[in-house]
Structure 1
Amino acid sequence: MAKVRRKKSTTIIIITILLAIIYMQLSTSIPDILPDLDKEDAPPVTGIHPVVLDQKNKLVAKVREIGIKIIITDGYRSDEEQNRLYKQGRSTEGDIVTNAQAGESMHNYGLAIDFALQLKDGSVIWDMEYDGNGNGRSDWMEVVAIAKDLGFQWGGDWTNFPDYPHLQIDFGLTIRDLKRGKRPPVDSHEYLEALK
């Protein structure tokens, strides 16, 4: 009798472990088929987050102090714009510029910007080696260093699809969090302070 009970207990434990493994796989690899139990109602995002905007303005001012002028080529993107960019190089003309469809980019949540260098004649370049201020260092990488000091993460650090003009502040939120309706507070400067 004791042998039968042990066998039943072992079987129940194995089945429980297998069910837990299956649930974890489904919840991480196929989140869209599971109910969004933790989905929050959030107002639609229609522009760049105020803290990201503030840090962007500081970035533009700080790089100007060292003789570098940048322009912000992109900020908040609507779902329509994101899908248009995603199609580029796939079903429409041009080079592939993003792997993110609508809702999959930090731009869609107002948490990212893209930049380029602007020359004295007004032309815009994406040359990562250019040293326009003549200090022996790449202007691009000087911008990146200042951006990181301001709390931005740089897309050039990504290994699977480096995005060299991309800067973002995610406030510790993932795309999955954002899709489920989580948003950083409007005044999130304490997050940036914690990074220092």
Structure 2
Amino acid sequence: MKKLLILSMLFLFAFVAYQSFLFIKGDPDSAEQVEYEVVNAENLPTELHPILADKVESLKEKTAEKDITILITDDYRSFEEQEKLYDKGRKTSGKVVTYTEGGESYHNYGLAVDFALQLENGNVIWDTEYDGNRNGKSDWFEVADIAKDLGFQWGGDWRGFKDYPHLQMDFGLTINDLQGGKYLKYPS
């Protein structure tokens, strides 16, 4: 019995070590390999990262295949624009729309977008229950599922504040990484 327990423990250790190796190394067949660079404040992005921009176009195409039209309502946002949004409901009138100050949002680094649904008549809605393609599923949640299949993280999955229009790709970078100057290299 003792030998079986020791063998089981060794097997478990080997399995965990192997899985850790795969996690650290990454699987080149299943994920995009990305490189990072250190940039100074003068070289911070001023637009959506090209990888993210391509994924947004794929999202638009895939949602259109399901008879859903989306509109990107926000993408890259400067620190100053972020501060103005943060001030809403705090220093200026209106409802609180964000809990992140300038420099604390993935939008500020070109790694996030917000979307809404666009109706045939051109009206834009943020109705998470709307089923315009009449397939019995919320168009909003269909968009979120397609986005997640493309590699986006969806703000509707967040534990605390649910940010249903928000989609981001952080590529393993934290806000602290980005604030410290670490940034995703642009494709050459």
8 Å contact from structure 2 (residues 38, 183) kept in 1: no
Match of 2:95 in 1: 95
Instruction: Structure 1: give runs of 5+ residues left out of the alignment.
Output: 1-38, 189-196
Letter of the structure 1 residue corresponding to residue 142 of structure 2: E
Q: What are the equivalent positions in structure 2 for 1:140-155 lying under 5 Å apart?
A: 140-155=140-155
Percent identity of paired positions between Structure 1 and Structure 2: 59
1:41 shift after superposition: 3.5
8 Å contact from structure 2 (residues 62, 146) kept in 1: yes
Match of 2:74 in 1: 74
1:40 shift after superposition: 4.0
Match of 2:170 in 1: 170
For the residue of structure 2 that corresponds to 1:86, the secondary structure is helix
Give RMSD over aligned pairs: 1.4
8 Å contact from structure 2 (residues 109, 178) kept in 1: yes
For the residue of structure 1 that corresponds to 2:121, the secondary structure is coil
Match of 1:59 in 2: 59
Letter of the structure 2 residue corresponding to residue 155 of structure 1: G
1:116 shift after superposition: 0.2
1:27-60 Cα deviation digits (max 9, x unpaired): xxxxxxxxxxxx9443121100000000001101
Match of 2:8 in 1: none
Q: Which stretches of structure 1, 4 residues or more, deviate above 6 A after TM superposition?
A: none
Match of 1:159 in 2: 159
Q: Distance in 2 between matches of 1:119 and 1:41?
A: 41
Q: What are the equivalent positions in structure 2 for 1:1-196 lying under 5 Å apart?
A: 40-42=38-40, 43-187=43-187
For the residue of structure 2 that corresponds to 1:121, the secondary structure is coil
Give TM-score, length-normalised by structure 1. 0.74
Q: Distance in 1 between matches of 2:163 and 2:88?
A: 16
Give TM-score, length-normalised by structure 2. 0.77
For the residue of structure 2 that corresponds to 1:80, the secondary structure is helix
